C-alpha cells in the first residue's frame, strides 16, 4: 500500500521517500559575481604536534597535551636520567602501541662516588710506584697484578654504570613500571596501573638533593604491590605533577566509560 | 722443620690461580647479566655494553691463561 505523501500524516519515525519528477531539468546555479582571484598562498607548515599512540583517542588528547606541556623542553639524550618520550628506548613487557611518556634513572650526581673511586683506582698503582712499594710483589707477578687491577677497576666502574643504566622507572600511558637490578643476580620488576594509583608523594631531603633537584617519588597503589618507591630521580615534583595529570586522565576515561 | 718459603710460595700460587678463576667466573656472570638486562630494557647503548662485557670476559680469560702459564713455568 502506497504511503500518504501528506506530511501531516507521516509519523515521525516513518521513512520519507522523495522522488524526483521525471521531466525536471537540472537546476544550474548562476553566480552573479565571478570568484575573486586571490593570490595563491604558500601552504602553511603544519604545526608540530606530538604524535599520539593509536590507543589514545581524541578525547584523551586534551589531557595528554597537558602532560606533554609539563615535560616539554627536557633533554632527550639517551644517557639522560630524565628521558622524555624516548624513541629508541623500549622494554620487554611493553604492549603494542603503548606510549612511553617518561623513563627515569637515578640523578647523575649519585654517580659521583663511584666515578671518584674509579679515578682513584686508576692512579693507585702509580702511587705504589712513587713510594717504591711495587717492589714488595714478586717480579713475575707484577704485570699480571697490574692487568688484574685495571680489569677490576673496569669491572667496578662497569657494574656501577650498569646499575645506573638499567635500573629504570618507566611511566607509560597505562601504567608505571619499576625495574630494579640489585646486584649481579637479583632482579625485581614492579608494575601498577595508573588507575590503581591512590596517592603520590615526592620527597627531597638533604643538601645535595635540594641543590641538584632530585629526590624520591613514592607511589601508593591499590594493586598487589602497595608501594612503589623510586629513589634519587631528577625533578621529583615534576614527576608528581605528571603522575597526577595522568591520574586525572584515567579518571576522566573512567567517567566517559560509564557515560557511554 | 717447616719451610716457610715453600708455604708462602704455595699460598701465592693458590691465591693467583683461585683469584684468576674466580675473576673469570665473575666476568662470565657479567656477560650473562648484561645480556639479561638488555633483554628486559632496550636502549641505544645496549650493543656497546654487551661488546664491553665480552671484551672484559676475553681479557679475564687471557689473564687466567697467563697466570696458569706463569705458575707452570
Interface predicted TM-score of the whole assembly (ipTM), two decimals: 0.88
Cell numbers found for residue A216: 624520591
Element (H, E) at B24: helix B4-40
Nearest to A168 by CA among A190, A185, A183: A190
CA–CA dist A231, A243 (Å, integer): 16
* B28 interfacial to chain A (CB closer than 8 Å): no
Whether A92 sits inside 8 A of B23 (CB atoms) is: no
pLDDT band at A57 (very low <50, low <70, confident <90, very high): low
Phi–psi pair at A179, nearest 5 degrees: -110, 120
User: Based on the number of CB atoms within 10 Å of its own CB, is A52 exposed (0-12), middle (13-18) or buried (19 or more)?
Assistant: middle
pLDDT band at A260 (very low <50, low <70, confident <90, very high): very low
Whether A141 sits inside 8 A of B12 (CB atoms) is: yes
Largest CA distance in chain B: 64
pLDDT of A259 above 70: no
Q: Which of A43-47, A56-60, A140-144, A164-168 has the lowest mean pLDDT?
A: A43-47
pLDDT of A241 above 80: yes
Whether A89 sits inside 8 A of B41 (CB atoms) is: yes
pLDDT band at A81 (very low <50, low <70, confident <90, very high): confident
Please say whether the beta carbons of A61 and A52 come within 8 A.
yes
Average pLDDT over residues A68-76: 70
**pLDDT tens, per residue, chain B with 73 residues:** 667 788 888 888 888 889 999 999 999 999 998 998 888 888 888 999 999 999 999 999 999 999 888 888 7
CA atoms A196, A188, A202, A87: torsion sign = negative
Whether A151 sits inside 8 A of B30 (CB atoms) is: no
Question: Domain spans of chain B?
Answer: 4-72
User: Based on the number of CB atoms within 10 Å of its own CB, is A82 exposed (0-12), middle (13-18) or buried (19 or more)?
Assistant: buried
**Chain centroid to CA A60: how far?**
16
pLDDT score recorded for residue A38: 46
**3-state percent breakdown (helix, strand, coil) of chain A, nearest 5:** 40, 20, 40
| Percent of chain A clearing pLDDT 90 (strictly above) | 29
Q: Report chain B residues whose CB lies below 8 A from the CB of A166.
A: 37, 40-41
Amino acid at each position: 500500500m502506497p504511503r500518504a505523501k501528506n506530511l501531516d500524516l507521516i509519523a515521525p519515525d516513518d521513512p520519507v521517500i522523495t522522488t524526483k519528477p521525471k521531466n525536471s531539468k537540472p537546476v544550474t546555479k548562476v553566480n552573479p559575481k565571478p570568484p575573486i582571484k586571490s593570490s595563491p598562498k604558500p601552504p602553511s607548515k603544519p604545526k608540530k604536534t606530538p604524535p599520539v599512540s593509536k590507543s589514545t583517542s581524541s578525547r584523551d588528547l586534551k589531557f595528554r597535551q597537558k602532560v606533554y606541556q609539563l615535560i616539554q623542553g627536557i633533554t632527550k639524550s639517551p644517557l639522560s636520567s630524565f628521558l622524555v618520550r624516548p624513541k629508541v628506548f623500549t622494554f620487554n613487557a611493553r604492549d603494542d602501541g603503548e606510549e612511553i611518556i617518561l623513563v627515569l634513572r637515578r640523578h647523575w650526581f649519585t654517580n659521583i662516588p663511584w666515578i671518584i673511586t674509579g679515578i682513584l683506582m686508576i692512579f693507585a698503582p702509580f702511587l705504589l710506584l712513587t713510594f717504591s712499594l711495587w717492589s714488595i710483589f714478586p717480579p713475575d707477578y707484577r704485570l699480571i697484578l697490574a692487568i688484574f687491577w685495571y680489569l677490576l677497576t673496569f669491572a667496578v666502574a662497569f657494574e656501577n654504570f650498569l646499575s645506573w643504566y638499567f635500573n629504570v622507572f618507566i611511566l607509560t600511558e597505562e601504567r608505571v613500571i619499576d625495574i630494579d637490578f640489585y646486584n649481579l643476580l637479583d632482579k625485581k620488576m614492579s608494575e601498577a596501573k595508573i588507575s590503581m594509583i591512590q596517592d603520590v608523594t615526592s620527597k627531597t631531603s638533604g643538601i645535595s638533593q635540594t641543590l641538584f633537584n632530585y629526590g624520591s617519588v613514592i607511589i601508593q597503589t591499590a594493586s598487589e604491590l602497595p608501594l612503589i618507591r623510586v629513589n634519587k630521580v631528577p625533578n621529583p615534583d615534576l614527576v608528581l605533577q605528571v603522575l597526577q595529570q595522568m591520574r586525572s586522565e584515567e579518571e576522566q576515561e573512567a567517567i566517559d566509560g560509564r557515560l557511554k | 722443620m717447616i719451610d716457610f718459603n715453600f708455604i708462602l710460595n704455595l699460598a701465592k700460587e693458590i691465591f693467583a690461580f683461585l683469584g684468576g678463576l674466580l675473576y673469570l667466573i665473575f666476568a662470565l656472570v657479567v656477560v650473562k647479566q648484561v645480556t639479561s638486562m638488555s633483554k628486559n630494557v632496550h636502549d641505544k647503548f645496549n650493543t656497546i655494553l654487551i661488546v664491553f662485557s665480552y671484551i672484559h670476559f676475553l681479557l679475564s680469560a687471557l689473564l687466567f691463561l697467563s697466570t696458569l702459564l706463569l705458575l707452570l713455568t
